[in-house]
């Protein structure tokens, strides 16, 4: 189609979007381990929830396993734990098998682990607000003995929850939840149990918060919104839901440009684009290129926050580690 014949499309590009500091650190950890130790490097679970990133690391020599029993005995290759965090039993098994274990858990997830452990040591029952089965939730619940953490997923769960001692329990949250959904659940618990203890500082991480705030800003202004991210990425799914809640009629999560449904997105006049915390910018560009083939794009970047958070690599991978 000739450029002059293309219909016009106003595109609001969310900023910030895409990679957060924890994801950058986790990917860098695998790449640095490959550089220092050579292939293979074993990684327990997907280092981050993005197929594109995982395939790229596989091509460089990373081997992804679901559980440590898949790692051969006697290997001298590093074994890396993903950004989502792991139950205490995982590093214990790695130590028992003399693996060179490298923990790439996001420091903001580690903070939640510490909070849960401190509450437990103080004799409090621990409530975790999160999604059952998510790797981060499995890791956080696995910091404490079985049954010590109660999972609350919905407002209905919060209304039905009965603590052992209403005067002596505390809540923590998964780092990638919807801010509004979580606030609703916390409000129900606080109303029912005014003495409930909580985190000193919000558990939902800065990147989740910032990406949701950017979507809230643009969603009412556009016909449709695309989140670039994986279907099993919690923070990406929350972005899609936030857009719908804020009045955007069409909100879709796509991993790549080839997943765009042109029967829906082929007739719009305005579009917002964002990306989950584990989606690389190259995939955002791929989506924009696909729209540029069909539309004359007028792109505006909508800035809602500045991010300069940086997390250093795990100690074994820093340049001074060899000294």
Catalytic residues: 136
Give residue 4's pLDDT: 65
* The residue to which tokens 């990373």 are assigned: 62
- Shared domain check, 93 and 63: yes
Q: How many whole angstroms separate alpha carbon 43 and alpha carbon 66?
A: 8
- Say what the pLDDT of residue 321 is: 60
Band (pLDDT 50/70/90 cuts) for residue 322 is: low
Q: What is the pLDDT confidence band of residue 320, given thresholds at 50, 70 and 90? A: confident
Question: What tokens were used for 18?
Answer: 């895409």
Residue 232's domain spans which residues? 3-20+206-303
Give the end of a domain, one of 91, 106, 121: 106
Query: What pLDDT does residue 201 have?
Result: 83
Residues 267-299 have pLDDT tens digits of: 999 999 999 999 999 999 999 999 999 999 999
Angstrom distance (rounded) from CA 265 to CA 188: 38
213 and 277 in a single domain? The answer is yes
Of 192, 227, 262, which closes a domain? Answer: 192
Question: Does the pLDDT of residue 262 top 90, yes or no?
Answer: yes
Q: Are residues 138 and 215 in the same domain?
A: no
State the chain's mean pLDDT as an integer: 95
145 vs 153: CA distance, rounded Å: 20
Q: What is the pLDDT of residues 3-21, one digit of tens each?
A: 568 999 999 999 999 999 9
* 215 and 293 housed in the same domain: yes
pLDDT single digits (tens) 23-77: 999 999 999 999 999 999 999 999 888 888 999 999 999 999 999 999 999 999 9
> Do 127 and 99 share a structural domain?
no
Residue 150 lies in a domain: yes
Q: Mean pLDDT, to the nearest integer, of 294-306?
A: 96
100 and 131 belong to one structural domain: no
Asked if residue 311 belongs to a domain, the reply is no
In this predicted structure, the answer to whether residue 118 has a pLDDT above a threshold of 90 is: yes
Judge if 174 and 216 occupy the same domain.
no
Domain count of the fold of the chain: 3
Given a cut of 90, whether residue 2 has pLDDT beyond it is no
In a domain, 118, yes or no: yes
Domain-located, residue 200: no
The yes-or-no verdict on residue 323 having pLDDT over 80 is no
- pLDDT score of 230 more than 60: yes
* CB-based contacts of 236, cutoff 8 Å, min separation 6: 49, 227, 228, 229, 230, 253, 275, 276, 277, 278, 279
> Residue 177 falls within a domain, yes or no?
yes
Residue 319 inside a domain? The answer is no
Indicate whether 185 and 138 sit together in one domain: yes
Same domain, 96 and 119: no
pLDDT of residue 64: 97
| Residue scoring higher pLDDT (144 or 202) | 144
68 in any annotated domain: yes
**Residue 213 pLDDT exceeds 60:** yes
What pLDDT score was predicted for residue 3?
Answer: 57
């Amino acid at each position: 189609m000739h450029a002059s014949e293309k219909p016009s499309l106003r595109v609001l590009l969310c900023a910030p979007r895409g990679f957060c500091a924890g994801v950058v650190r986790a990917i860098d950890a695998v790449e640095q381990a490959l550089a220092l130790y050579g292939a293979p490097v074993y990684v327990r679970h997907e280092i981050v929830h993005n197929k594109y990133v995982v395939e790229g690391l596989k091509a460089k020599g990373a081997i992804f396993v679901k559980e440590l029993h898949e790692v051969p005995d006697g290997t001298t290759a590093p074994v890396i734990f993903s950004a989502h965090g792991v139950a205490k039993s995982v590093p214990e098994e790695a130590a028992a098998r003399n693996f060179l274990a490298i923990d790439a858990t996001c420091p903001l997830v580690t903070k939640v682990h510490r909070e849960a452990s401190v509450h437990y040591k103080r004799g409090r029952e621990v409530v975790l607000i999160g999604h059952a089965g998510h790797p981060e939730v499995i890791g956080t619940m696995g910091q404490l003995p079985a049954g010590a953490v109660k999972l609350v997923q919905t407002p209905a769960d919060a209304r039905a929850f009965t603590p052992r001692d209403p005067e002596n329990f505390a809540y923590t949250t998964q780092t990638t939840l919807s801010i509004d959904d979580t606030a609703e659940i916390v409000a129900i618990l606080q109303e029912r149990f005014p003495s409930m203890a909580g985190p000193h500082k919000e558990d939902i991480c800065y990147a989740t918060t910032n990406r949701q705030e950017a979507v809230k800003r643009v969603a009412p202004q556009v016909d449709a919104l695309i989140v670039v991210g994986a279907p099993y990425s919690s923070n990406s799914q929350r972005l899609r839901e936030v857009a719908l809640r804020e009045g955007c009629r069409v909100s879709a999560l796509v991993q790549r440009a080839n997943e765009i449904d042109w029967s829906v997105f082929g007739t719009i006049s305005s579009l917002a684009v964002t990306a989950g915390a584990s989606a690389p910018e190259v995939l955002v560009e791929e989506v924009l290129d696909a729209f540029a083939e069909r539309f004359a794009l007028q792109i505006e970047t909508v800035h809602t926050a500045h991010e300069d958070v940086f997390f250093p690599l795990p100690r074994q991978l820093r340049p001074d580690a060899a000294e």
